[in-house]
Chains A and B, each alone.
Chain A
Amino acid sequence: MDFGPHLMLALLEGAVLAAVLALMASGLSLVFGVMRVVNVAHGEFYMLGAVVAWAVADLVGGGPAVGFIAALILAPLIVGGLAAAADMTILKRIDYDPERTIVATIGLLYVIQQLTLMGYGPEARPVAPPFNTRIALPWIEWGAGGPSVYFPWGLSTTSYKLFVIGAAAALILAIRLVLLHSKAGLVMRATQLDSEMATAFGIPVERVYAAVFGVGAGLAALAGVLIVPIQQAHYLMGGEALLLSFIVVIIGGLGSLTGTIVAAVLIGMSDGIISVFFSPTLAKILATLLVALVLVFRPQGLFGARER
Chain B
Amino acid sequence: MSKSDHPQSSSRRAALKTLGAAGAAATLPLWARYTHAQTAAPIRIGFQKHATGIGAAYGRWYDRTSQAAVAKINGEGGINGRMIELVTEDDGTDPKRGAEVIEKFANQSKCDIAFGTLFSHVVIGSAPRAGELKLPYFVVSEGHHVASGMLNRWTLQPGITDVKSQVQAMAPFITDTLGKKVTMIYPDYGFGYDHRDNLVPAVQAAGGEIVAQIAIPPTETSFTKYFPQIPRETEVIYHVMVGPAVLTFVKEMGEFFGPSRPEIFGFIDSLEAVDLASPGLDFLEGTYFWEGMPRYLQADAPAYVTAYRDAVGIDANGASTSDPKDVSTAAHMFGCWETLHIIKAGMEAAGYSSTADRQALVEAVEAMTEMPAGAAHPQGDKLFNGRTHQVFGPQYISKVESGKLNVTHVAPIEDTLYPDEVDYTTQSF
Contact = CB atoms under 8 A, between A and B. Distances in A.
Interface stretch (B135-143, B203-211, B218-226): B218-226
A280 interface: yes
Contact of A232 (B244, B258, B325, B326): B244
A1 B280 CA distance: 24
A13 B257 CA distance: 15
A26 to B, nearest CB: 21
A134 B258 CA distance: 7
Contact of B225 (A132, A237, A275): A275
Given A232-B248, A280-B217, A122 B60 contact: yes
Given A122-B60, A124-B247, A6 B279 contact: no
B273 interface: yes
Contacts of A126: 247, 278-280
The 3 lowest CB-CB distance pairs between A and B, nearest first, are: A122-B56, A128-B279, A124-B244
B293 interface: no
Nearest to A240: B221
Contact of B245 (A10, A124, A125, A136): A124
A43 to B, nearest CB: 13
Nearest to B60: A122
B59 A9 contact: no
Contacts of B220: 280
Nearest to B325: A125
12 contacts: A9-B225, A121-B326, A123-B273, A126-B278, A128-B279, A153-B232, A154-B256, A156-B258, A231-B222, A240-B219, A275-B225, A280-B225
Contacts of A125: 325
A132 B273 contact: no
B61 to A, nearest CB: 10
Interface string B247-272: 11000000111101000000000000
B73 interface: no
A78 interface: no
A230 B251 CA distance: 9
A237 B221 contact: yes
Interface in B195-245: 217, 219-222, 224-228, 230, 232, 244-245
A121 B323 CA distance: 12
B246 interface: yes
Contact of B228 (A1, A132, A136, A231): A1
Interface of A: 1, 6, 9-10, 13, 17, 64, 117, 121-126, 128-129, 132, 134, 136, 153-154, 156, 158, 229-232, 234-237, 240, 272, 275-276, 280-281
B182 interface: no
A275 to B, nearest CB: 5
Contacts of B278: 126
B41 interface: no
Contacts of A232: 244-245, 247-248
A236 B225 contact: no
B54 interface: yes
A158 B255 contact: yes
B221 to A, nearest CB: 5
B57 interface: yes
Nearest to A284: B217
B52 interface: yes
A87 B280 CA distance: 39
A178 B228 CA distance: 41
